[in-house]
Chains A and B, each alone.
Chain A
Amino acid sequence: MPQTTLSPEAETPAAETQAAVTHPAASSGPASSGPVPFESWGRYPTYKAKVVPLNWQGDFPGVAAGIHNGALPVGMGRSYGDVCLLKDGNLLLTTGMNRLLDFDPATGVLTAEAGITLAQILDFAVPRGFFLPVTPGTKYVTLGGAIANDIHGKNHELAGSFGNHVPCFELVRSDGSRRLCSATENPDWFAATIGGMGLTGLITWAQLRLKPIVSRMIDYEGIQFHGIDEFLVLKDQYKHVEYTVAWVDCVSTGRNFARGIFMAGNNAKVPGPLTRTPEPKLSLPFDLPGFLLNRTTVSMFNTVFFHKQIKAHVKTPQDYEPFFYPLDKVLHWNRGYGKNGLLQFQYAIPWEHAKEGTIAILQEIARSGLASFLAVLKTFGDIPSLGMMSFPLAGIMFALDFPIKANISFPLMQRLGDMTREYGGRLYSAKDACMTPEQFKAFYPQWEQFARYRDPLITSSYWERVTGDRSTL
């Protein structure tokens, strides 16, 4: 670069002045961002990493040239543990890649860049009479993240997991190769990437098969139950209903042990509103003190929640927002757990041991005295997931949050993980912060086969923890 300098300093060797001009630290203008904390939804663990925004499908791998300590594609950071973290590495933030590329109203197939969120897809699709084929309990996840974790929803028994509705996507590797992946083209890469935790490369765009709806409304039914047996009876009674899930009280013991509300719903068959959801207004702007969540407050909450539904059986039309995304109404609700964050424990246990395993684990949780608001119980059907590392298996799925209390939470998580293993189940990587390598390798014995598809540049703190493999960086 030529210098506009009139003084004799113009004689300074070019290389030196050039360095002074182009080095970001020497610039008083825009400075490259250093490592910043990128939080997962559980806010535990917290690691610093450099955030590298991707805005275009062609940005990767170019932007990753010359980086150190590996990279990991990330989206909204809604997974709970460290599956979306990479300590001291580079997080390839995909949320700027959020364009719609094609939509065919005849088939419902939407093609979009992978950083688009399910909320953005709903804003587009609902007014056109379409809905997500599978949706998790928050709409603030990206399309790429939904594929990478092969997420599931309340309709697993009838629809399978998210990957079952993805006809194809493009996978870009750090060597610059681009692959179109589908059940017939590069099927091995397709299977490795669905549920592949972002480790196989960057998904730049994907197709998603939306389902037609005639209304925003859900024909909702809520039924109180006491105990796992009653839950299983209800589940059989409602097996023709598309969406089913149950909320369970994990604090109460004795007569109220495993009481809960079974929630069932179908997309309304009667034509109704197909409007866009307004922007959320509530946000928890700061951390609540952690002590606010204790056994007393949570058991009060649970009692109120159980009896809020005054009648034992309620039947009413409900908007899809409170039905699918009750917590999205309050942005950053995770701050309610205080600055220590929270742990989520989520298992699936196959039918063979599902009932005894669930009762034993619920008893263990109640005994621990660790309070939890959100315990969710549902069943997985037998539609096989397409992903090599997908979580769902036919049986009972259970999820709940724990506040972090150093001396109690971690040993409890260890015990619960071991119990899950004894009952032949597995834990969900997208929610995990505690699995040991032994547990992981027992839950996912195919992990070594999967590891062959990992991109050599890409890793995560989760992957390093559960495989014990730090050799790559």
Chain B
Amino acid sequence: MSTQPSIQHSVLAAPATPAASLAAKPVTASKKILVLGATSGIAEATCRIWAAEGASLFLVARNAEKLAAVAADLKVRGAQYVDTAVADLDDTAKHPELLAHAINSLTGLDIAYLAHGVLGEQSAAEADFEVAAQIFHTNLTAPVSLLTWLANFFVQRHSGVLAVISSVAGDRGRKSNYVYGASKAGLSAFLGGLRNRVDREGVTVLTIKPGPTKTAMTASMKGSEKFADVNVVAKSIVAAIAAKKDTLYVPFQWQPIMFIIRNIPEQVFKKLNL
């Protein structure tokens, strides 16, 4: 390509509601939460807690049938408002329209919760670059797109929380899942930098690093019965968002474990079977 592309600013249009009503506080202080990847096990468990608190939710997922079941459940559990959109988040070109629609539907936004991602198949990604590239697209490129739009929206308003599910696997590359791990490492690094940029603007960025958790994504993995209970993980996430934390290892034991793993000398590490 010979021509330099001009810089497009990733700025979402303001909610369609009239400016006057934006200033007026809503009668009930219902948290407005956008959930991307709402049918993932951890996201659904987290949403159940928010729903019981009477939150307003906008849910995005790929599968319409699953999304409808999750939305019905959250509505029954007490969510004040539930709206949904079926979307493939790999399609980054559609992000601005989707996000603007969500913010309009909720008439504002307090928390954006990014919970979508794929584990991928390590052996396939080792053999075929296209598989690795797809994992990177879903776990890193697509969240970077969403976070750029959302961060710029929150910065304009000087408030908002970006809560993003990364993984302990991103703390150090291991042979058993380094492609997934590298995508999450990139995401964690991006979030660190983004936090450094937007914290002074009143925007919170939470990097969530769950250890292995019992969900549909891990159901077929060996030893999955010993994994963390998804409801315990969800409770910690809700608490960390409320406390405006920066990083959350969950369950908490993963913080010291990953500290040790990060500090094993490479000379030793490369010989280990991890």
Most A CB within 10 A of own CB, among B121, B131, B177, B219: B219
Judging by beta carbons under 8 Å apart, are A1 and B77 in contact?
A: no
Is the CB of A56 closer than 8 A to any CB of chain B? yes
Judging by beta carbons under 8 Å apart, are A28 and B176 in contact?
A: yes
Is the CB of A317 closer than 8 A to any CB of chain B? no
Judging by beta carbons under 8 Å apart, are A28 and B72 in contact?
A: no
Judging by beta carbons under 8 Å apart, are B122 and A27 in contact?
A: yes
Is the CB of B16 closer than 8 A to any CB of chain A? no
Judging by beta carbons under 8 Å apart, are B175 and A28 in contact?
A: yes
Interface residue from A5, A29, A96, A101 paired with B73 (Cβ < 8 Å): A101
Which segment of B25-33, B220-228, B262-270 sits at the interface? B220-228
Is the CB of B70 closer than 8 A to any CB of chain A? yes
B interface footprint on A20-32 (CB within 8 Å = 1, 0 otherwise): 0110001111111
Within 8 A of A (CB), among B188-217: 216
Is the CB of A17 closer than 8 A to any CB of chain B? yes
Is the CB of B129 closer than 8 A to any CB of chain A? yes
Judging by beta carbons under 8 Å apart, are B127 and A99 in contact?
A: no
By a CB distance below 8 angstroms, the chain B residues around A113 are: 69
Judging by beta carbons under 8 Å apart, are B124 and A21 in contact?
A: yes
A interface footprint on B52-78 (CB within 8 Å = 1, 0 otherwise): 000000000000011001101100110
Judging by beta carbons under 8 Å apart, are A57 and B69 in contact?
A: yes
Give B119's nearest chain A residue, CB to CB: A30
By a CB distance below 8 angstroms, the chain A residues around B70 are: 99
By a CB distance below 8 angstroms, the chain B residues around A58 are: 65-66
Question: How far is A21 from B129 in the complex, measured between Cα atoms in Å?
Answer: 13
B interface footprint on A99-117 (CB within 8 Å = 1, 0 otherwise): 1111100000000010000
Give A31's nearest chain B residue, CB to CB: B222
Is the CB of B218 closer than 8 A to any CB of chain A? yes
Interface residue from B69, B76, B131 paired with A1 (Cβ < 8 Å): B131
CB distance from A212 to the nearest CB of B (A): 17
Judging by beta carbons under 8 Å apart, are B127 and A96 in contact?
A: no
Give A55's nearest chain B residue, CB to CB: B216
Interface residue from B72, B121, B219 paired with A27 (Cβ < 8 Å): B121
Is the CB of A254 closer than 8 A to any CB of chain B? no
Judging by beta carbons under 8 Å apart, are A33 and B176 in contact?
A: no
Within 8 A of B (CB), among A195-254: none
Instruction: Say whether, besides A3-B127, A4-B129, A29 and B122 are in contact (CB < 8 Å).
Output: yes
Within 8 A of A (CB), among B81-140: 119, 121-124, 127-131
Judging by beta carbons under 8 Å apart, are B123 and A28 in contact?
A: yes
Interface residue from A53, A99, A124 paired with B219 (Cβ < 8 Å): A53
Is the CB of A13 closer than 8 A to any CB of chain B? no
By a CB distance below 8 angstroms, the chain B residues around A22 are: 121, 124
Give B221's nearest chain A residue, CB to CB: A30
CB distance from A5 to the nearest CB of B (A): 7
Question: How far is A57 from B63 in the complex, measured between Cα atoms in Å?
Answer: 13
Question: How far is A113 from B73 in the complex, measured between Cα atoms in Å?
Answer: 10
By a CB distance below 8 angstroms, the chain B residues around A102 are: 72, 76
Number of B interface residues, CB 8 Å? Answer: 29
Give B217's nearest chain A residue, CB to CB: A30
Is the CB of A8 closer than 8 A to any CB of chain B? no
Judging by beta carbons under 8 Å apart, are A56 and B128 in contact?
A: no
Instruction: Say whether, besides A28-B123, A30-B220, A56 and B129 are in contact (CB < 8 Å).
Output: no
Judging by beta carbons under 8 Å apart, are B224 and A29 in contact?
A: no
Is the CB of A2 closer than 8 A to any CB of chain B? yes
Judging by beta carbons under 8 Å apart, are A56 and B221 in contact?
A: no
Judging by beta carbons under 8 Å apart, are A2 and B128 in contact?
A: yes
CB distance from B186 to the nearest CB of A (A): 19
CB distance from B196 to the nearest CB of A (A): 33
Judging by beta carbons under 8 Å apart, are B224 and A33 in contact?
A: yes
By a CB distance below 8 angstroms, the chain A residues around B41 are: 55
Give B130's nearest chain A residue, CB to CB: A2
Question: How far is A102 from B66 in the complex, measured between Cα atoms in Å?
Answer: 15
By a CB distance below 8 angstroms, the chain B residues around A28 are: 122-123, 175-176
Most B CB within 10 A of own CB, among A17, A30, A56, A103: A30
Question: How far is A5 from B69 in the complex, measured between Cα atoms in Å?
Answer: 43
Within 8 A of A (CB), among B145-175: 175
Question: How far is A28 from B125 in the complex, measured between Cα atoms in Å?
Answer: 12
By a CB distance below 8 angstroms, the chain B residues around A99 are: 69-70, 72-73
Question: How far is A5 from B131 in the complex, measured between Cα atoms in Å?
Answer: 13
Question: How far is A58 from B128 in the complex, measured between Cα atoms in Å?
Answer: 31
Query: Interface of B with A (CB < 8 Å)?
Result: 41, 65-66, 69-70, 72-73, 76-77, 119, 121-124, 127-131, 175-177, 216, 218-222, 224
A-B contact pairs, 23 of them (CB 8 A): A1-B124, A3-B128, A21-B121, A21-B124, A21-B127, A22-B121, A22-B124, A30-B221, A30-B222, A31-B221, A33-B220, A33-B222, A53-B216, A55-B216, A56-B65, A57-B65, A58-B65, A99-B69, A100-B72, A100-B76, A101-B69, A101-B72, A103-B76
Sort A-B residue pairs by CB-CB distance and give the 8 closest, nearest first.
A99-B73, A4-B129, A29-B122, A100-B76, A30-B221, A27-B123, A53-B219, A55-B216
Query: Interface of A with B (CB < 8 Å)?
Result: 1-5, 17, 21-22, 26-33, 53, 55-58, 96, 99-103, 113, 124
- 17 additional A-B pairs beyond A4-B128, A33-B221, A55-B216, beta carbons within 8 Å, are A1-B127, A1-B128, A1-B131, A4-B129, A4-B130, A5-B127, A21-B121, A21-B127, A21-B128, A27-B122, A28-B123, A30-B222, A31-B221, A99-B72, A102-B72, A113-B69, A124-B77
